[in-house]
Amino acid sequence: MKRVVTFGEVMLRLTPRDSARLVQAASFDAHIGGSEYNVAAGLCSLGHSAMFVTKLPDNPVGKLAAMNIRASGVELGEDAFVSHGRLGIYFLEQGASPRPHKVTYDRTGSALSLAKAADFKWQRILADADWFHVSGITPALGPELVRAISDAMAAAKGKGIPVSFDLNYRAKLWSATEARIVLEPLMQDIKLLVSTEEDLQRVFGIDASNPETCSMKAREFFNADVVAVTLRGTPTALRNTWGGCACGADGFRRSAIYEVEIIDRVGAGDAFTAGFIAGMLEGDISHALEMAAAFSAIKHSIPGDVCFATRDEVETLIKSGGPGRIQR
């Protein structure tokens, strides 16, 4: 069992029932989620240990989030509860062809966005860590969090702890130009970069004409050990193809491609990252890529932001390449 530390914001997700538009909604399904937390919870599902570093309001809503975090097997970082701010909310409209999924944020003034870089004691937080992970969403929340991430990554590298970064560009949080200015120095010289072809092209202008070119150029651009890219085909809003590719020092490879029927696609990229980190902690890049693709393919069938698939389910899917008989 390896120990992974992740850093970011957790939010309350409210989804109108029966694929209703937000303006129609009379009731909502509620879930707790957030990119770095989703990765931590996925790693716990795969048998590793994870701690999620964040800030939560010291009120019943913050305690609801904490209960969900702990229930998923994730350790909550030190001094998580604060007296200021709120828990951010996002609303997810589930689409169906030709209407796409749509996210509406209500996160201004969240507890984490009001935090200061000095609030996080990274030398102590990372004392027994085997891996550190963050995404491009957190630095979009403000300059103090950019400094906090920079401090965390410097501490991790100083201790010889591998660092992974998911680009996770969110156009509703900042422009591509703003993102590039902030993220480019943060993403240099890391162990693992995860992204989509679209985000690498939109933010950094990296050629996305094909997955191999994209991942190879990204690896060179950021001097990363490994670049992993998710590959999604979207014939319809509710039936996709899904897999990934990766480029390391020993070359380029693709994963198996799965047909997925979508119950909930949110968090699939985070599940891919969790599977890849787990695989790299256990073996080589090929193992990591197949773990990532299978774990995240299963995520599409699970409501909420977090993938609660077991290691046995992932290994069975890798061996079979598709759904098997009913398990009785």
User: Could you give the 3-state DSSP secondary structure of residue 316?
Assistant: helix
Question: Across the chain, which distance is largest between two alpha carbons, in Å?
Answer: 53
> What are the structure tokens assigned to 159, written together?
């201790």
CA distance 180 to 178: 6
Which ranges in the chain belong to alpha helices (H)?
35-45, 60-71, 122-125, 143-158, 176-186, 197-204, 211-222, 268-282, 285-299, 311-320
How far, CA to CA in Å, does 253 sit from each of 217, 250, 285, 300?
Answer: 14, 9, 9, 23
| Cβ atoms within 10 Å, residue 100 | 11
CA distance 76 to 93: 29
Closest CA to 142 of 196, 85, 60: 85
Amino acid at 222: F
The answer to whether residues 191 and 158 touch, using CB atoms and an 8 Å cutoff, is no
Closest CA to 48 of 225, 282, 297: 282
CA distance 265 to 230: 13
Which residue out of 264, 270, 284, 312 is catalytically annotated? 270
| Cβ atoms within 10 Å, residue 258 | 19
| Residue 189 known to be catalytic | no
Query: Which residue matches tokens 């480019």?
Result: 184
| Cβ atoms within 10 Å, residue 47 | 13
Catalytically active residues are 270
